[in-house]
Structures are given as C-alpha cells and as structure tokens.
Amino acid sequence: MTRYAFGIFILRLVIPTMILASIIVRPSLMGSIYLGMLLYLPYLDLIENERLNKGAFNYVMTFVPYQTAAIQLGFYLYTISTDEIHLEENANMLRLFKSLGMSTLDDLSAFQVYCWVGPEGLMVIVSILYRWSMGMIGKGNTHESEETNEKAELEAKKEKMSYLKLSTTIGKSFTVFLIFVVAVWQHTFFGVCYYLIFLFIISMWALNQALSSHVSMVLKLSSPILLVHVVGIYVFQIEGIQFNLLDKSTVLRNTEWRRRNACIKKNGELEGKC
C-alpha cells in the first residue's frame, strides 16, 4: 500500500469515524462545529495538488480542535476555582454552558465524564491525523509531479484514480445500504424520501443501467434533504433547545426530531441529568 493509499484510508475512514464518535456522545453547539467538519469531508478535492493544505477548511481542521480544547480547559479551571456556577440563581447560565458543550464534572460517572471531556481529546487526535494524512497525500502528489518520464506520471495518476474509485465505490454501496436501513427504521417524512431514493437506485440496478452515475446524481440531488435531516436531529438534541420547545408536536414527531428520554420537559423543568 502506497503512502497515498494510506493517507486516503485515514482521511476517508479513520477520521470520519472519530469525528462521528465525538459528536454522538455530546450533542451541543460545540459539537455542531465537528458535525460541519464531518459533512464537508467528502467534498475535499484530493486530485489537484494545488488545493491541498489550503483554504478555510484546512484551518478549521487544524486549529479549531485545539481552540475548543482550550475553551474546555478554561471552563473546568473556572469550576475548580469557584462554586458560583452551582448557585441556584445561575441555573440558566449552567444550562447555557451545557448547550455549548461544557458541564461541571461533580457527581458524574466515568462514562459521563468522558462524554463531556472526551470529544475534545478525540478532535485533537483528528487534527493530528488530518495533517498527517494530507502530508502523505501531498508528498505522494509532489513526488509524482516531479517525474520527468511522461509514462511514469501517467501510471502514477492511474494508480491514484484507482484508489479514489475504489473508495468511492465502497462509500456509495455503504450509503445505499444505510439509506434503506434509515428508511425502514422509522415511519416519518424523511423515511419516505429515503425509501423513494432507495427504490429509484434499485430500479436503475434492475434495469441494468449505469448504476455509478445514477447513484452520484441521486445523492447530489438528495444532499439538501440529508443535510436538513441530520442537522435538525442533532440540533434538537441540544438541551437548551429542548428546554424551550413544546413536549408534543405533530411536526416534530413526523420529522423524527424527538426529545431524548433523559430530557423530557415537564412542568417547565427537565427530568434527569442531561
């Protein structure tokens, strides 16, 4: 396996898995930044050498995890130095901090402590892996571009495209499978949309059409629906937003934006720890 292939493996599989783990355990506004990173990763251009390690996204992936980790560290140092945050009149302020992704660690289990602190540690590792993987991809591209032999350059480019084609094919197949799973998991408006998308893709396969091009077209057209659904579900899990929404809503129920079991609003209060 070449350096380029190993860099693709880290960028397309390892990093998304780690980001997903960091945003699931702690729904918050800080986690929504990580969600934005995850959603933008598939759109990175790994072919053009000039575009690597450039742009605003490169800055976000490299420095934002360290900044959020510094914010977390500052908050925990503040909670250690004073007990003001625990006062009853500061209950709304504490709820705001939880919505941002920060909470006091008093009387919490080890797993709960990880849920509040762990995402920043994972994202710092993600930042290091991102720089490492882009370095391997970039070095591979530079080495290939310096080849004087035109035939060698063509073979190197063909090898690069084969890796990208393989990763794209695996990703599309896995995406189609997940679309079917999500469609039948819950009977909601978005579930109907996903089921229609799945039926269209399977129909193209049954008619022996060019499945790869059709899947790409359908996924691009359905990207706005996927974006609204994913962002809506995630944002709705944030405590501050749940606290200010009604318990029963036909729209929320039909769109699958439901309240977490541990955060049910009752008589203006939240039950359990969120």
Last residue of a domain, one of 98, 113, 146: 146
Per-residue model confidence as pLDDT tens digits over 126-159: 999 998 888 887 665 444 444 455 666 666 667 6
Residues 161 and 43 in one domain: no
Structural domain tally of the chain?
2
Most confident of 16-20, 47-51, 75-79, 137-141: 16-20
- Residue with the larger pLDDT of the pair 89 and 27: 27
Read off the pLDDT band of 270 (50, 70, 90). Answer: very low
Read off the pLDDT band of 268 (50, 70, 90). Answer: very low
Per-residue model confidence (pLDDT) at position 265: 45
| pTM, two decimal places | 0.71
Instruction: Find the domain containing 123 and state its range.
Output: 1-146
Residues 118 and 134 in one domain: yes
Residues 109 and 187 in one domain: no
Per-residue model confidence as pLDDT tens digits over 62-76: 899 999 999 999 988
Last residue of a domain, one of 146, 166, 182: 146
Using H for helix, E for strand and C for coil, what is the string for the chain? CCHHHHHHHHHHHHHHHHHHHHHHCCCCHHHHHHHHHHHHHHHCCCCCHHHCCCCHHHHHHHHHHHHHHHHHHHHHHHHHHCCHHHCHHHHHHHHHHHHHCCCCCCCCCHHHHHHHHHHHHHHHHHHHHHHHHHHHHHHHHHHHHCCCCHHHHHHHHHHHHHHHHHHHHHHHHHHHHHHHHHHHHCCCHHHHHHHHHHHHHHHHHHCCCCHHHHHHHHHHHHHHHHHHHHHHHHHHCCHHHHHCCCCCCHHHHHCCCCCCCCCCEECCEECCCC
Residue at 62: amino acid letter:
T
Residues 188 and 271 in one domain: yes
Does 88 score more than 80 pLDDT? no
Last residue of a domain, one of 146, 173, 199: 146
Does 247 score more than 60 pLDDT? no
pLDDT over 90, % of the chain:
13
Residues 103 and 198 in one domain: no
Lowest mean pLDDT among 102-106, 193-197, 198-202, 263-267: 263-267
- Residue with the larger pLDDT of the pair 75 and 169: 75
Per-residue model confidence (pLDDT) at position 124: 94
Mean of pLDDT over the chain: 76
